Amino acid sequence: MSDPVRKIADAVLYEGYLLYPYRASAQKNRLRWQFGVLTPGGDSTEPTRNRTECLFEPSASGGGELHVRLRCLQLQTRSPHDPDGSPAQELVVDGTRHLQFEEGVPRQIDAVLPIDELLRGDCAVPIVLPGTRETEEIRDGTGAVAGTLVRECWPVTGRIAVSLVDVPGPYLVYRLRLDVVNESACEAGAPREEVLRTSLIAAHTVIAAHPGTFLSLTDPPQWAEPATKECVNEHTWPVLAGPDDRSDLMLSSPIILADHPQLAPESTINLFDGLENDEILTLRTLVLTDEEKSEARATDPRAAGIIDAVDAMPPEILERLHGAIRSLRPAGAAPDEVPVFGTAGPAFGGTFGADSPAEMPLETTPWWNPAADSSVNPDTDSVLVGGVPVAKGSHVVLRPGRSSDAQDRFLDGMRATVQAVVHDVDGGVHIAVSLDGDPGAEMQLAHGRFRYFRPDEVEAVE
């Protein structure tokens, strides 16, 4: 697995593993393992399997193979015991605390599947994660045994079912289906903490084609759109992975991502919350008391690593977390084509390095304060959609485009009411809507929360 893909896959693997403030006693860490949990077949509270379907273009020369890697966490209990062998909630030896906790052990299953074999029928790859029990002695400063830590895993079994089916049409393209199924035993009605012992946690797959390419599900070529819509994905979502110029890698994740996801280069620590702001988490961790940091370090070795890394973070790294500007101009634009967000010029006012700087007004309308610009009014502005003026109060049907994220695609065909027509600082127009029949619409309206679509992503209802 290439390094960029591994970093993203690791972020998925440990997303929500242990949340700030990283202490076992924190309420948010009492109910853990939120993403990608596949429970045994006897349990009905959470899914037993996930399904990935996407489109795959093989090499024109034929042959080739798919490399499949399943990655997950296996639950491991850690229990401190007194010197006489009796269990204890906490063991303190020479000032070092050892708490009872549940750890996650990373596991992976690899398979290389010839494409010709997949076309002849389903291929099943067994999942076998053995049970283990290990005892670690804890000695005090004199060398005497002051207690033990017992770590135990329970066996987990299942299978990965992979198949390729030809998609009818003039193009050589297959529909790839990959099912991850947990077939472990589970007692009916068992509490969740016991069910998790034989579950696949944070399960996700990485698929590599040798040779061949995968097609994006969110932005496929036009000819592939009908076949893309027939793909079924349950409890997981596949995206193109790796650098932008690669299409031979697919990451299927329980967290919805965009194609070619990347970690922010400013992020240097895995805080187990890739969907949160690193600066906020880092600053909050810095202000933990010594007692809180002590408990966090005793909670989990990975939590201890976070505390140590944050405490040792130099000022220049912390400053990088404060914010980043990815680009000050459109892609490919020359330095003298950077727009000034003001009132000069046909759109937002001239360019830096213009031939006649004196023509640019010294005072411009603040781009961050729409209320100061009398030329726009979200309550009365309108935009043409299919030749029909659409403004606040208009009714539309949502038609998210190919470049929309997966959550917007779920709204395809739903009716909505326009709440505002707004303009962004780049000159784009967006239609703010509320979903008709949404029981939470009234509360969202009270807070000014809407869903936004481009004019070409809606149909006007006359």
> What is the percentage of the chain residues whose pLDDT exceeds 70?
87
The two three-digit tokens of residue 71, written as one number: 């990655």
427: alpha, beta or left, given left = phi > 0 and alpha = psi -120 to 50?
left
Query: What whole-number distance in Å separates Cα of residue 50 and Cα of residue 233?
Result: 8
What is the CATH number that goes with domain 376-461? 2.30.30.490
Averaged pLDDT for residues 247-262: 94
On the 0-12 / 13-18 / 19+ scale of CB atoms within 10 A, 377 is: middle
Please enumerate in sequence order all residues whose Cβ is within 8 A of that of 457, keeping only pairs 6 or more positions apart, or say none: 398, 399, 400, 401, 404
Instruction: Encode pLDDT of 414-427 as tens digits.
Output: 999 999 999 887 77
Residue 426 pLDDT: 76
Instruction: Encode pLDDT of 103-143 as tens digits.
Output: 999 999 999 999 999 999 889 999 999 999 999 999 999 99
Instruction: Encode pLDDT of 133-182 as tens digits.
Output: 999 999 999 999 999 999 999 999 999 999 999 999 889 999 999 999 99
Residue 147 pLDDT: 93
Residue-averaged pLDDT of the chain: 86
Q: Which of 82-86, 237-241, 278-282, 365-369 is the least confident region? A: 365-369
What is the crossing angle of helices 278-286 and 301-311, to 10°? Answer: 90
More confident residue, 272 or 354: 272
Predicted structure pTM score: 0.75
Q: Given a cut of 50, is residue 359 above it in pLDDT?
A: no
Residue 39 pLDDT: 94
How sure is the predictor about 332, in pLDDT bands with cuts at 50, 70 and 90?
Answer: low
Most confident among 42-56, 121-135, 323-337 (mean pLDDT): 121-135
How sure is the predictor about 43, in pLDDT bands with cuts at 50, 70 and 90?
Answer: low
Contact assessment for residue 354 and residue 360, using Cβ atoms and an 8 Å cutoff: yes
The full set of domain ranges for the chain reads 33-263, 334-375, 376-461
Residue 462 pLDDT: 76
CA dist list (Å): 436 to 383, 393, 411, 447: 20, 12, 11, 17
Query: What whole-number distance in Å separates Cα of residue 39 and Cα of residue 17?
Result: 17
Query: What whole-number distance in Å separates Cα of residue 281 and Cα of residue 16?
Result: 13
Contact assessment for residue 48 and residue 37, using Cβ atoms and an 8 Å cutoff: no
How sure is the predictor about 335, in pLDDT bands with cuts at 50, 70 and 90?
Answer: very low
Residue 378 pLDDT: 86
Averaged pLDDT for residues 213-224: 94
How sure is the predictor about 329, in pLDDT bands with cuts at 50, 70 and 90?
Answer: low
Residue 407 pLDDT: 79
Residue 42 pLDDT: 59
Q: Which of 16-20, 121-125, 349-353, 442-446 is the least confident region? A: 349-353
Q: Given a cut of 70, is residue 454 above it in pLDDT?
A: yes
Q: Which of 15-29, 74-88, 134-148, 435-449 is the least confident region? A: 435-449
More confident residue, 379 or 231: 231
